[in-house]
Amino acid sequence: MIEIRFHGRGGQGAVTSAELMAQTAVGMGKYAQAFPSFGPERRGAPVTAFLRISDQPIRNREKVYEPDVVVVLDPTVMNVTKVDAGLKSDGTLIINSAHPVAELRKQFGFTQKIAALDAMAIALEVLKVPITNTVMLGAFAKVMGQATPDDVREPFSHRFGDSLGPKNQAAFERAYAESKLGAN
């Protein structure tokens, strides 16, 4: 089983990211669960979402306290939340950031593997809006080997429809092509 925690801000699609990847995993014949953790937050407040993907039925219904992967949709969350809390020592951070991996390590003290991608630039260029969720899913899918662009096509089409589905697919594919782990 792989356990993933998403960090973002309300309205950026952290919850949608977890749900879309769960639907993708189920479509690939796996078991998955996705759920958010938030209270009376408002748009822009920090939000956490959780995802588990497994080849076996998933019985655990708790939050993900020791993730294998942390996906950070909004880099400003790292200033108010310790996003690597509980991340396994051999875990991976996938961060929306234009900054080099070495700079992220120095600023935040990260010791795990890191993939950094300027998802905001891709979102603005491809989607024309500052919402990075499908871009970051492309990075996650590539870095962790969890899905291909073809695997997400149906969930994206179902969720976003005929007009936004292809744009989100293009954003995913761009991130998938450009993502890789940084220097460790």
CATH number of the domain residue 34 falls in: 3.40.920.10
The pLDDT score that the predictor gives to residue 184 is 44
Digit-coded pLDDT (tens) for 135-169: 999 999 999 998 999 999 999 999 999 999 999 99
Check: CB of residue 87 under 8 Å from CB of residue 131: no
Confidence of residue 67 (pLDDT cuts 50, 70, 90): very high
Q: 74 in a domain, yes or no? A: yes
Asked whether the predicted pLDDT for residue 41 surpasses 60, the reply is no
pTM comes to: 0.94
Q: 23 in a domain, yes or no? A: yes
Q: 184 in a domain, yes or no? A: no
Digit-coded pLDDT (tens) for 105-116: 999 999 999 999
Q: 143 in a domain, yes or no? A: yes
Strand, helix or coil for residue 54: strand
Q: Number of structural domains, the chain?
A: 1
Q: Average of pLDDT values for 10-37?
A: 93
Q: 86 in a domain, yes or no? A: yes
Task: State how beta strands 69-72 and 2-9 pair.
Answer: parallel
The pLDDT score that the predictor gives to residue 45 is 81
The pLDDT score that the predictor gives to residue 39 is 59
**Domain range for residue 172?**
2-178
Q: 65 in a domain, yes or no? A: yes
Burial call 137-176: b when 16+ CB within 10 Å, e when fewer: bbbbbbbbebbebebbbebbeebbeeeebebbbbbbbbbb
Check: CB of residue 142 under 8 Å from CB of residue 182: no
Q: 183 in a domain, yes or no? A: no
Q: 160 in a domain, yes or no? A: yes
Asked whether the predicted pLDDT for residue 26 surpasses 80, the reply is yes
